[in-house]
Amino acid sequence: MAEAPITSPSAQPADELLDPDFMTRLERLEILSRKIHTSRQKGERKSKRKGESAEFADYRNYVVGDDIRHIDWNIYARLDRLFLKLFLEEEELNVSVMLDVSKSMDTGDPHKGLYAKRVAAAMAYIGLCNYDRVNLYAYNERVVGRRDGLRSRRVMSQAVRFLQEVPLGGKSHFSTAAKQFAMRHTQKGVVLVVSDLLDKGGFEQGLRYLLGRRMDVYVMQVLSPQEMEPELAGDLKLVDCEDADAAEITVSRPLLNRYRANLRAYCESIREYCTRRGIVYVMAPTNHPFESLVLSYLRQQGLVR
């Protein structure tokens, strides 16, 4: 699967966003959050709050008003005092994926957009398998589509359809989109931003919005090999596919070297920014086999277990 180059997203059959084999392997994974989040719904996650799960946490004295169902009658029998038996509350996890669907994602070979959608699908599937609350957001200069509150594996098809149907186009403006997302999505959780981050508006502001919501942020930068090692020659007028901005270049070895150095420095600056703020940054070249990215690389990065 990974070895077969994907040329065009529209040529892909619907179920090929994730193939069944791979999905079974994804079932064993779960999304980690380094923060314990609260959720109104009881989920499969341990919560900081003491709750009603099967896992014992502590005892405490009964005070008036407590649910008498939680009183440990055995201790009352022995000590004749009322104690409440506290259990760890298990909560659901909010897993959000912010998928960049701007025009720039519609390039590259292997295709960046498809790669990003597959990552999003994989993350959604992992989340759904673990009874997490999965929210999918597609954005370019703003949020253009969302499917939130997905729970249980049954709605996986909805997620896939959403991902397949969301069009690629428009300018990207991550900070606007992140602001919208943050305003709308007040609950804490895990946010995975899948984008090429080639955003003239900058990426810092957007990440700040997400951090402001005390979210566990993961950033995955998807770059095509053409962006990492440009195969250009001659005197060219490069046109930005999003805003039609033109750059006249004469390709030369120094220029290419400079480009590569700049790209490296740019990625490095993102990584540094992220590291400083406790954000996990993942670099994903589209020629990197997708399955190994999810199954091993993301594991190493601590996003999934």
Partner 1 sequence: MSLLSWPTALIAAALSVPLLLLLYFLKLRRQERQVSSTLLWKRAVHDLQVNAPFQKLRKNLLLFLQLLILAAVLFGLANPVANFMKKPERNIVLLLDRSGSMKTEEADGRTRLEYAKDAAEDFVSGLSGGSRVMVIGFADRASVVCSFTDDKRRLRRQIRGIEPTDGPSRIGEALQLAVAYSSNLVDIPGVATPEAAMQGSADIELFSDGRIADADEEYVTRGNLRFHRIGAAVDNVGIVAFDVRRDYERPGMLSVFTHIENFGPSPVTLDVSLLLDGQRLSGPGSVQEVKLGAARPAETEPDAIAAPDEPGVLPASRSVVFDLHHESGGLIEIRLHREDALAIDNAAIAPIDPPREVRVLVVSGHARVRDLLVRGLRSIGVDEPAQLDPQAYETATEEDLVVEGRSAYDLVILEDHDTDRLPPGSYLFFGGVPKIESVSVGEEISGQPLVLWQENHPLTRRVMFENVFVAKWSRLTLPERAVRLVEGEDSVVMAFITDPGHQYVVSAFDLIESDFLWEPAFVIFLQNMVMFCSGSGLTGASRLVSPGETLTLHVPPGAEEVRVVRPDSRWEEINVEGRHTVTYARTHDAGVYVARFDDPGETAEVFAANTLDATESRISPNERFTIGAEEVVSVEGEVKVNEPLWPYAAGLALMVLLVEWWVYNRRVMV
Contacts with partner 1 by CB under 8 A lie at: 104-105, 107-108, 112, 196, 198-200, 224, 226-227, 230, 232-242, 245-256, 258-259, 262-263, 266
> CB of residue 211 vs partner 1: minimum separation in angstroms?
23
Q: Which residues of 275-302 are buried (b: 16+ CB within 10 A; e: fewer)?
A: eeeebbbbbbbbbbebbebbbebbeebe
- Whichever of 119 and 298 has its CB closer to partner 1, that residue is 119
CA–CA separation, 301 and 186 (whole Å): 26
> CB of residue 280 vs partner 1: minimum separation in angstroms?
23
SS3 119: helix
Total Cβ atoms within 10 A of residue 162 = 21
CA–CA separation, 141 and 182 (whole Å): 15
The encoded tokens of residue 63 equal 């005070």
Residue 128 and residue 151 in contact, taking contact as beta carbons nearer than 8 Å:
yes
Q: Which residues of 20-30 are buried (b: 16+ CB within 10 A; e: fewer)?
A: eebbeebeebb
> CB of residue 245 vs partner 1: minimum separation in angstroms?
5
Residue 168 and residue 105 in contact, taking contact as beta carbons nearer than 8 Å:
yes
- Whichever of 7 and 296 has its CB closer to partner 1, that residue is 7
- Whichever of 52 and 240 has its CB closer to partner 1, that residue is 240
- Whichever of 211 and 249 has its CB closer to partner 1, that residue is 249
> CB of residue 37 vs partner 1: minimum separation in angstroms?
34
- Whichever of 49 and 200 has its CB closer to partner 1, that residue is 200
SS3 109: coil
> CB of residue 139 vs partner 1: minimum separation in angstroms?
16
The residues with which 59 forms a beta bridge, in sequence order, are 85
CA–CA separation, 193 and 127 (whole Å): 15
> Is omega for the bond preceding 230 within 30 degrees of 0, making it cis?
no
**DSSP letters for 173-223:** -HHHHHHHHHHH--S--EEEEEE----TT-SHHHHHHHHHTT-EEEEEEEE
- Whichever of 30 and 227 has its CB closer to partner 1, that residue is 227
Residue 221 and residue 284 in contact, taking contact as beta carbons nearer than 8 Å:
yes
> CB of residue 224 vs partner 1: minimum separation in angstroms?
7
Chain length of the chain: 305
- Whichever of 196 and 291 has its CB closer to partner 1, that residue is 196
> CB of residue 244 vs partner 1: minimum separation in angstroms?
10
- Whichever of 135 and 195 has its CB closer to partner 1, that residue is 195
> CB of residue 22 vs partner 1: minimum separation in angstroms?
27
